Amino acid sequence: MVNQKNILLGVSGGIAVYKACALASKLTQKGANVKVMMTESAAEFVTPLTFQALSRNPVYIDTFDEKHPEKIAHIDLADWADIAIIAPATANIIGKLANGIADDMLTTTLLATQADVYVAPAMNVHMYAHPAVIKNMKQLEEWGYHFIEPGAGYLACGYVGKGRLEEPESIIEAIETHQHQEPFLTGRKVLISAGPTREKIDPIRFFTNHSTGKMGFALAEAAAEFGADVTLVCGPVAEKTTHPRIQRINVMTAEEMYEAMHVHFEEQDIVIKSAAVADYRPKLVYEEKMKKQDGEWHIEMERTKDILQSLGEVKSTQYLVGFAAETTNPLEYGKKKLVKKNLDAIVINDVSSEGAGFGGDTNMVTYVNKLLKQEEIALASKREVAEKILKFIDQDMKDEIR
């Protein structure tokens, strides 16, 4: 998949630059046309001449070193590239890109390119876990950058942990796998619910839960990238949608989500209800703020409509998938929900497990279809989990499991 591709290899400054030499060499051996762009810091570790010899092309460092007067080099290279790879990607270069800073040739070119950009981080284990770095990586991921996670092991700083640049062979394999992904949901319509609902008590207070919508948004983004036209019905969350094939519908209450899901349900091919909808709401909603009083305050609750069950009762050709977030006997309760609500499949996760709770960036789940075939998805980013769930759904539909 990299053969005959124009690949811009961006190299930022870190000890892992030596691996970028091997990466440039292996890409060239695979038939790629490689051009290397280095930061000044990267040139402190390995000379540009090394990359020139390995890529058989000029190496670019200085924005103002225009080798061809008839072209603006960084724009020309941005347009030339089919694929851009940043390896190693330091915390500094990730931070610059996430904040739109273009103060050298590499950042200027990357902000101008329309190519697929793959980021292979390499840094100290504590830097990689720093909230600022995590936030910057998340921002880039939302904009469509693809991350190749670093490996764990002995780092040059002496620490042992996650932060080591992935091996060149693995970087190439990850890129080829992604490039080879077919838009298998092209022509499909997918309806997804995400996030919590808020059930009002008075103008100040409400009941809700810990859901952030991250899993549902990951499903929506992945489905859109796989070619689907996505309708995303979401409760009050901070997540953003970026893909042009996602139609976002914001709701607040369980009743509003019920209405939105039913309005759009009939025309869908796949429906995934990943939202954590309130099961109960206050029976009485106060028009004015309830003042603090002595003693206890009892609030009578009433059931909300069961959205998933109501969809299961009216589904015809739709492939209907539910989520079961459990803390006790998750498989047992999840399978009961699968049958009771007339689902085609259910995604079960134990939210009490480390790395699988609400609000995190990772998840691990069990996918069970109506034939009770189980597929385990190990701990991974929610985007990776989303992609695997969609592939399981697609395979079930091809096998006509419904």
What is the spatial distance between Cα 100 and Cα 92, in angstroms, rounded to a whole number?
12
Spatial distance between the Cα atoms of 257 and 374, rounded to a whole number of angstroms: 29
* Composition of the chain by helix, strand, coil, percent to 5: 35, 25, 40
What sign for the dihedral angle of Cα 377, 382, 388, 393? positive
Cα–Cα dist 381/190, whole Å: 21
Burial pattern 27-51, b for ≥16 Cβ within 10 A else e, equals: bbebebbbbbbbbebbbebbebebb
Residue type, 385: V
CA distances from 344 to 18, 123, 217, 338 (A): 50, 44, 21, 7
Superfamily of domain covering 6-180: Flavin prenyltransferase-like (3.40.50.1950)
Is 21 part of the annotated catalytic residue set?
no
**Helix 131-142 / helix 91-98 crossing angle, nearest 10 deg:** 50
Q: 223-246 in b/e burial notation, b at 16+ Cβ within 10 A?
A: bbbbebbbbbbbbebebebebebb
d(CA 45, CA 8): 19
* Secondary structure (3-state) at 67: coil
- Residues near 203 by beta carbon (within 8 Å), at least 6 away in sequence: 286, 287, 288, 289
Q: What is the pTM of this model?
A: 0.65
pLDDT value, residue 2 = 83
Which residue intervals of the chain bear CATH 3.40.50.1950? 6-180
CB atoms within 10 A of CB 356: 19
Structure tokens at 114: 């329309």
> How many angstroms separate the CA atoms of 232 and 320, rounded?
15
Catalytic residue among 112, 157, 301, 364: 157
Estimate to the nearest angstrom the gap between the alpha carbon of 246 and the chain centroid. 14
Integer Cα distance of 157 and 100 in angstroms: 29
DSSP-derived 3-state class of residue 35: strand
Tokens of 380: 């991974």
Counted residue by residue, the chain has a size of: 402
Q: Which residue has the tokens 């459990």?
A: 326
The residue whose two tokens read 């915390």 is 91
Domain with CATH 3.40.50.10300 in the chain: 189-398
Kindly list the averaged pLDDT for each block of 10 residues, start to end, along the chain of length 402: 90 94 95 96 96 95 81 88 95 96 96 94 89 92 86 57 82 84 88 97 94 94 93 94 90 97 97 96 94 90 96 96 91 95 95 81 92 91 91 92 66
Name residue 217's amino acid: F
The annotation status of 289 as a binding-site residue, yes or no, is yes
Helix (H) or strand (E) holding 47: none
pLDDT given for residue 22 in this prediction:
96
Contact present, 104 and 181 (Cβ < 8 Å): no
pLDDT at site 402: 64
Q: Give the Cα separation of 290 and 304 in Å (integer).
A: 23
pLDDT in tens, 317-361: 999 999 998 888 999 999 999 999 999 999 999 888 887 778 888
CATH class for the domain made up of 189-398: alpha beta
Q: Pick the closest to residue 196 from 394, 367, 359 (CA basis).
A: 359
